[in-house]
Amino acid sequence: MQTVQVALADRSYPIHIGTSLLSRPDLLLPHLSRPKAAIVTNTTIARLYLDQFITALRDHGVECFSIELPDGEQYKTWQTLNTIFDGLLGARCERNTTLIALGGGVIGDMGGFAAATYQRGMPFIQIPTTLLAQVDSSVGGKTAINHPLGKNMIGAFYQPKLVIADTTVLSTLPDREFSAGLAEVIKYGLIRDLPFLEWLEENMETLVQRDVGALEYAIARSCINKAEVVSADERESGERALLNFGHTFGHAIEAALGFGTWLHGEAVAAGMVQATALSARLGFVSNTAIERVANLLKRANLPNTPPKIPSDQSLSLMSHDKKVDAGKIRFVLLKSIGQAFLSDSVPETQLRAVLEQPVVAANV
């Protein structure tokens, strides 16, 4: 087991990464305010892992119950969030009951938002079961639900007490979901960790085959990158915004197609190609950089060409993005491969050109 620390003074917490960690309730016990926990999960994960997890906790004296939600991005709504509150209130949960989110990014986001707001805050533990959640959404305290006009527009910053990334559960992850997580892994290399990107280029096929050693290395390296950024800029006032590379384009793709049509990582992948193409149009990187990004995404079985969406619709959706400041869309661009920066001075003509023209040939 490897442990990465997120340094946030008295709110610091560990990320444990390793195999068969769901069978290690001893990792959770020190982080429970009292021996009672509400486990929020979805129907898919419940069928695979819930019984064994609850049994392990109860064998260690923890009173626990589960709240099962439907599976899918389209359920990341107020209505589904209220299902969590119904469960917490029905079980007479108090402020010191711990909420454990057992699932992917949707469960983590909604469970975290519920924990942040139930009785104005209850302890929260993340146990992400998808690659995307293990390397990104479970770390850093962003919690939210979607709105028809934008992704993750309603939420709160609320840090967990602990994150447990069990690589064993990734063996049951569908190939499409697994590849979606690789988009966020690749992102870290593109924005701030060139040596990691080069490692990914050398080892992508091994990673796609879910080699345990490669997986643990990639997850740990991703978590180290995110932990460093979050520790320096928890509330996204500066550097943390760089983690949204490809997301402004990607969120517009998700909203335009309907949440759940493309997976988040798929939309981010296409969005990263668009963001690289915009960087090239503005003179920061060459067209070779676009090909390099697109080729790596293809090897990860991810889309490297965005779907056809009218540019006016994309621009409208981007205008609702959380990174809009004083009416200007802030884009995360590449100064070079491995070094990102923020810009709010992108000419609309250049942006429309990226939105309206194929960014990369489908056979790259």
Q: Which sign does the torsion angle of CA 165, 112, 32, 49 carry?
A: negative
Closest CA to 185 of 127, 8, 170: 170
- Asked about 236 being catalytic, the answer comes back as yes
Catalytic residue (one of 244, 281, 322, 330):
244
- Asked about 184 being catalytic, the answer comes back as yes
Burial code of 127-161, b = ≥16 C-beta within 10 A, e = fewer? bbbbbbbbbbbbbbbbbbbbbeebbbeebeebbbb
d(CA 53, CA 190): 36
Catalytic residue (one of 247, 281, 298, 330):
247
d(CA 273, CA 291): 9
- Asked about 152 being catalytic, the answer comes back as no
Burial code of 260-294, b = ≥16 C-beta within 10 A, e = fewer? bebbbbbbbbbbbbbbbbbbbbbebbeeebbbbbb
Cβ–Cβ < 8 Å for 20, 166: yes
Counted residue by residue, the chain has a size of 364
- Asked about 31 being catalytic, the answer comes back as no
Catalytic residue (one of 76, 161, 221, 264):
264
N-term to C-term CA, the chain: 38
Catalytic residue (one of 161, 226, 298, 323):
226
d(CA 329, CA 166): 37
Catalytic residue (one of 221, 240, 281, 292):
240
Q: Which residues does residue 334 pair with via DSSP β-bridges, in sequence order?
A: 340
- Asked about 244 being catalytic, the answer comes back as yes
Catalytic residue (one of 16, 76, 221, 251):
251
- Asked about 120 being catalytic, the answer comes back as yes
Q: Give the type of residue at 357.
A: Q
User: Helix axis angle, 194-208 relative to 175-192, nearest 10°?
Assistant: 170
- Asked about 240 being catalytic, the answer comes back as yes
Q: Which helix (H) or strand (E) holds 335?
A: strand 331-336
3-state helix, strand, coil in the chain (%, to 5): 55, 20, 30
Catalytic residue (one of 42, 73, 76, 142):
142
The catalytic site residues sit at 120, 142, 184, 226, 236, 240, 244, 247, 251, 264
